[in-house]
Structure 1
Amino acid sequence: MDTSRDRGLTTGDELMQAQAELWNHVFAYTRSMSLRCAVELGIPDAVNRLGGAASVPELVAALSLPLPRAPYLRRLMRLLAHAGFFVFDAAAASYGLTPLSRLLVSTATRGAGGQGGLSPFALAMLHPVIVSPSMSLASWFRAADAVNAAARVPFESAHGRDLWAVAKDDREFGVAFNDAMACDGRFVMYVLVRDHSNVFRGLASLVDVGGGSGGAARAIATAFPRIRCSVLELPHVVAAVPTGELGGVEFVAGDMFEHVPKADAVLLKWILHGWDDENCVRLLRRCREAIPSKEDGGRVIVMDLVVGSSPADEKATETQLLWDVMMMGVVGSPERDEREWRKIFQDAGFSGHKIVAVLGIRSVIEVYP
């Protein structure tokens, strides 16, 4: 008898399971937008203020929401709890914080400490300015006319300008984006200097290339007073740093592609992934000129993403790939795997490198002259 299985087709149960999985992918954006909603409403902060657990009526009151919204808030919280952002206590009908939602509690609500306050990052990465280009990826891939073909990335097709121009002209987005980068930097540096101090072993001096307003350099200088820290940045960035926020860090105005100040080590934190291979090699050559030999402790410390750095962790790899496609849409530069990093380092004249995956989906790469 001829059956669907005899013809190599799947069973009805398998088809329905495949449809359920497809629906999960189709509606996954709802999870991200629900997360944005929770952060905008201030739900993690409210739960934290209420002692770490709160019922829906308590949240409605704490957030000053209209009472008719309570049933809808319950549905939102049910999804967020299933996604792991909160834990639901059925007996108390309350929602408690989890490690995920604790990361979203603002530092002002939390008090002293640097292990959280990542709400600005979530808000910026889920901002319409960032998200909207993903709606037209297919059009960008197909674009052949002179106008659209000139757009290097989907972001430019959607907004007519690159990310930096939009951030400069759109004050609200610019502030959100800068806050996101600052809070992410504080969080990662907190973990790095606390748990991985060996990265800075034997150093007497360090220059943070493209170090912005000096947050990373100040964190290193505070944790390791023996290290003389400096920041190389463009003149207008250096001029904007208030004198009261120098924190014992020296600021040097200049172009990183032309010259890097001498130091035992050069720090490149989230710099190289923003440039193509040619510019990465050019910058790394300037870094190699600035540091002593490997025997004398010279090295470049790269903090960046290495695709596939944790092969046993499929969720980490998926997050890396999600980030890579987001970068493709927004700025165009690629995230690299170990082989691609190795080629860049070799082309820049370095003798070797070591990758240590200690920063979640990102890694510390020590590069030796």
Structure 2
Amino acid sequence: MELTPNDQTEAALRGEANVWKNINGIADFMVLKCALELRIPDIVHSHSAPITLAQIASSVPDSPSLNLSYLSRIMRLLVRRKIFSQHKSLDGEEVLYGPTHSSRLLLSKTTLPDQVTLAPFVAFMTHPYLSAPWRCLARCVKEGGNGFEMVHGGRQLWDLAPGNPEFNKLFNDGMESTARITMMAILSEYRDVFCGIGSLVDVGGGFGGSISAIVKSHPHIKGINYDLPHVVATAPTYTGLVSHVGGNMFEWIPTADAVFMKWILHDWADEDCVKILKNCRRAIPEKGGKIIIVDIVLEPEANGLFDDAAVMLDIALMALTRGKERTEKEWKKVLEEGGFPRYQIFKIPALTSVIEAYPQ
């Protein structure tokens, strides 16, 4: 059917609007960073009812000369992005701002220590070390490699942590925050995956939050948290629950009935994944052994709740690591080459899926 002039004009305008939205996409991330630095989610959630702009401003720490006009512009975008809700006061004279499910996921751990939050992950992803590599995407496409190594003199993301305790903590706190959300989904919807396992090693387990949650839910499991020596050196003690072991997964993996890897393999190229999987294969029994991978499985059609997030995270991996998000076909290839010809994929209510794979 031929488009009328009005249809063509509408299509052109939608196209222009879409380009402008993408041009200014960085504003979403930076405004989120701004909101956390000003502690706006904590302030809004500390009240039992929606509050005014002036109330928010008066509660921002160390800001005696805060600019109300600028703050209102920040809040306007956050409302558009559904981070906060917007209401009218009873007299209709003032705008009030309230919480949402999204803003609850941005509360600081100092406000609610046990709160599930993604605030540490936002802080990590907006660190200057991680901002600069995004400018190298065209070079990544032309040359291969990743932006992080291009910007940081050939050093990988993990190479900067050992000599920088502050960045090491920021990195592991960020990973831990995503882990808590994922583990809640796994342990509520798919906890049977850990039944029958006597010992479990969490490869790349960071500070040990995931393996400790698993062992608390399944006390019969002997938990091993395995990560680089500088990571486990600062990890908290989980008395009677988890033992920390330092090492390199490209060299060896502690022996256990099963291996758990959450958001590890997506950081690495296929050939690196195969090396890791082969070490997993050596670490588990021939009969009864298995690996449990928690990672994104890209869908061929973009019709899921987390599809956009998964594809955008894939681009982040291009900028920051040697890895990528994978389709089921791509997962099948690396699993088979790594010694795991049999697998099954389980959906969970989260960004990631669970891949259970076996050596025979």
Interval containing the TM-score (normalised by the shorter chain): 0.7 to 0.9
1:72 pairs, out of 70, 73, 77, with 70
1:25 pairs, out of 10, 22, 33, with 22
Q: What is the distance in 2 between the residues matched to 1:283 and 1:259?
A: 8
Once the two structures are superposed, residues 188-245 of structure 1 have per-residue CA deviations (whole angstroms, 9 ceiling, x without a partner) of 2233223431221222221212223322211111121111212233445444446x44
- In the other structure, the counterpart of 1:308 is 299
The Cα shift of 1:141 comes to 4.3
2:111 pairs, out of 109, 112, 116, with 109
Aligned pairs for 1:43-122 (under 5 A) are 43-51=40-48, 53-64=50-61, 65-66=63-64, 69-91=67-89, 93-110=95-112, 113-114=114-115, 116-122=116-122
Structure with the largest fraction of helix: 1
TM-score normalized by the length of structure 1 = 0.85
Aligned pairs for 1:1-369 (under 5 A) are 11-51=8-48, 53-64=50-61, 65-66=63-64, 69-91=67-89, 93-110=95-112, 113-114=114-115, 116-142=116-142, 152-160=145-153, 161-170=155-164, 172-241=166-235, 244-293=237-286, 296=288, 298-308=289-299, 311-313=302-304, 316-369=306-359
Aligned length, in residue pairs: 352
Q: Secondary structure at the match of 2:173?
A: helix
Q: What is the distance in 1 between the residues matched to 2:16 and 2:338?
A: 49
Where do 5+ consecutive residues of structure 1 fail to align?
144-148
Q: What is the distance in 1 between the residues matched to 2:300 and 2:118?
A: 23
Where do 5+ consecutive residues of structure 2 fail to align?
none
One-letter code aligned to 1:284: L
- Cα 1:271–1:81 shift into 2, 3 Å: same
- Cα 1:257–1:176 shift into 2, 3 Å: closer
Q: What is the distance in 1 between the residues matched to 2:72 and 2:268?
A: 44
- Cα 1:136–1:236 shift into 2, 3 Å: closer
One-letter code aligned to 2:258: A
- Cα 1:262–1:359 shift into 2, 3 Å: farther
One-letter code aligned to 1:91: S
One-letter code aligned to 2:296: L
- Cα 1:187–1:286 shift into 2, 3 Å: same
Paired residues of 2:136 and 2:319 also in contact (CA < 8 A):
no
Q: What is the distance in 1 between the residues matched to 2:240 and 2:108?
A: 24
The Cα shift of 1:85 comes to 0.2
One-letter code aligned to 1:182: E
Paired residues of 2:263 and 2:294 also in contact (CA < 8 A):
yes
Q: What is the distance in 1 between the residues matched to 2:152 and 2:192?
A: 43
- Cα 1:274–1:108 shift into 2, 3 Å: same
- Cα 1:13–1:359 shift into 2, 3 Å: closer
Percent identity of equivalent pairs? 37
- In the other structure, the counterpart of 1:146 is none
The Cα shift of 1:168 comes to 4.0
